[in-house]
């Protein structure tokens, strides 16, 4: 399988599992194309044309030829210079073709804030007013953009270029997979209490393995006996949205949030709004999302995996 096929497949799978629905994705791509055509000649030179077909700014080929034949991949949740060096060292003895990072690097990280617009579409499907949601989210998006601006984003990519290591990030495409998978599972199982909800999570191998390492699913707001009522899986959209949304979620009848992680400020607001919060686990949820993504990609061709940086390949099909 060529690198471009892996990348294009990842984007298609991400779109298929996008919790906003296909129409919202098409609207986003239409908006990107309209923005591109409105630019002058010089501005178009700096436009990332991936945006015309890929709605996820944090999923990109970061280094390497799109025509590269890939059979053996090394995958990690976080990839930095140390993993690039590890990749180079390992290929002295074994064949390795591609390094895949879940969390983005380079311009895929610098553009992370753009993915946060997904929260509007996701929350709209939960019954929240789109315009109100947009206004509440914008402050948070602007904050994340400002925080990303001063970073040395190219450090890892520069190392990959020097060592001729093909590098790709697959962030929101994988997060979409785990968010949709878990939401469908909870909708089907309909757990009555938070204890029941935890048992659903523990039926998944990634979360059982995390529990054995003291990082498994846990309740951080609420008690095991508390009623779940309506469950909302909040695991995609780049990073945490606005904490000001929690009051609106409560008004929409949502009682329980299932997240990868949650900041202290967000947790305080969730408790204030009497929301239950279950942390499924960050690395374990990222691993599950990647595994679901790779399950779909491998329908075309099996790949050989070398796992690092918190990732473990577990096939669900």
Instruction: Say how many C-beta atoms besides its own lie within 10 A of residue 102's C-beta.
Output: 26
Q: Is the pLDDT of residue 42 over 90?
A: yes
The CA-CA-CA angle for residues 128, 183, 238, to 5°, reads 70
Give pLDDT, residue 131. Answer: 79
More confident call, 117 vs 173? 173
Which of 227-255 are b and which e, b meaning 16 or more Cβ less than 10 Å from the residue's Cβ?
Answer: ebeebbbbbbbbbbbbbbbbebbeeeebb
Contact, 236 vs 175, CB < 8 A? yes
pLDDT score recorded for residue 134: 80
Residues whose CB falls within 8 Å of the CB of residue 165, separated by 6 or more in sequence, listed in order: 63, 64, 84, 87, 88, 99, 159
Upper half-sphere CA count for residue 142 (Cβ side, 13 Å): 6
pLDDT surpasses 90 at 317:
no
Local confidence band at 128 (pLDDT 50, 70, 90 cut-offs)? confident
> In this predicted structure, what is the pLDDT of residue 293?
98
Q: Taking a C-beta distance cutoff of 8 angstroms, is the pair 79, 101 a contact?
A: yes
Indicate the domain borders of the chain.
3-174+285-308, 178-281
Would you state the pLDDT for residue 33?
96
Q: Which two tokens stand for residue 45?
A: 């030179």
Task: Provide the pLDDT confidence category of residue 185 given band limits of 50, 70 and 90.
Answer: very high
pLDDT tens column, 67-105: 999 999 999 999 999 999 999 999 999 999 999 999 999
Per-residue pLDDT tens over the stretch 230-267 = 999 999 887 888 888 888 888 888 999 999 999 999 99
The pLDDT tens digits for 261-294 are 999 999 999 999 999 999 999 999 999 999 999 9
Q: Strand, helix or coil at 309? A: coil
With 90 as the cut, is the pLDDT of residue 35 above it?
A: yes
CATH fold, domain 178-281, is 3.40.1390
pLDDT at position 212 over 90: yes
For residue 120, the model assigns a pLDDT of 87
Q: How far is CA 192 from the centre of its chain?
A: 28
163 pLDDT band (50/70/90 cuts)?
A: very high
């Amino acid at each position: 399988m060529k690198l471009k096929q892996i990348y294009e497949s990842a984007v298609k799978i991400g779109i298929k599992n996008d919790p906003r629905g296909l129409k919202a994705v098409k609207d986003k791509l239409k908006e990107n194309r309209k923005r591109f055509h409105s630019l002058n000649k010089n501005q178009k030179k700096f436009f990332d044309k991936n945006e015309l077909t890929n709605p996820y700014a944090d999923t990109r080929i970061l280094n390497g030829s799109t025509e590269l034949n890939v059979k053996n991949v090394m995958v990690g949740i976080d990839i930095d210079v140390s993993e690039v060096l590890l990749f180079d060292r390992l290929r002295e003895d074994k064949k390795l073709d591609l390094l895949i990072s879940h969390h983005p690097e380079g311009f895929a990280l610098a553009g992370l804030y753009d993915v946060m617009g997904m929260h509007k579409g996701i929350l709209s499907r939960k019954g929240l007013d789109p315009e109100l949601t947009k206004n509440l989210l914008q402050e948070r998006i602007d904050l994340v953009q400002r925080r990303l601006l001063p970073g040395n984003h190219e450090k890892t990519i520069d190392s990959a270029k020097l060592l001729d290591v093909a590098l790709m990030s697959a962030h929101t495409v994988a997060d979409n997979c785990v968010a949709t998978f878990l939401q469908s599972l909870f909708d089907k199982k309909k757990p009555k209490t938070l204890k029941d909800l935890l048992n659903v999570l523990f039926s998944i191998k990634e979360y059982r393995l995390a529990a054995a390492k003291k990082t498994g699913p846990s309740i951080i707001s609420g008690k095991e006996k508390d009623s779940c009522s309506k469950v909302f899986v909040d695991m995609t959209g780049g990073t945490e949205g606005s904490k000001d949304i929690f009051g609106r979620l409560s008004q929409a009848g949502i009682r329980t949030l299932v997240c990868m992680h949650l900041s202290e400020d967000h947790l305080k607001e969730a408790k204030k709004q009497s929301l239950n919060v279950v942390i499924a686990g960050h690395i374990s949820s990222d691993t599950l999302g990647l595994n679901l993504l790779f399950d779909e990609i491998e329908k075309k061709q099996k790949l050989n995996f070398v796992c690092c940086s918190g990732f473990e390949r577990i096939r669900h099909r």
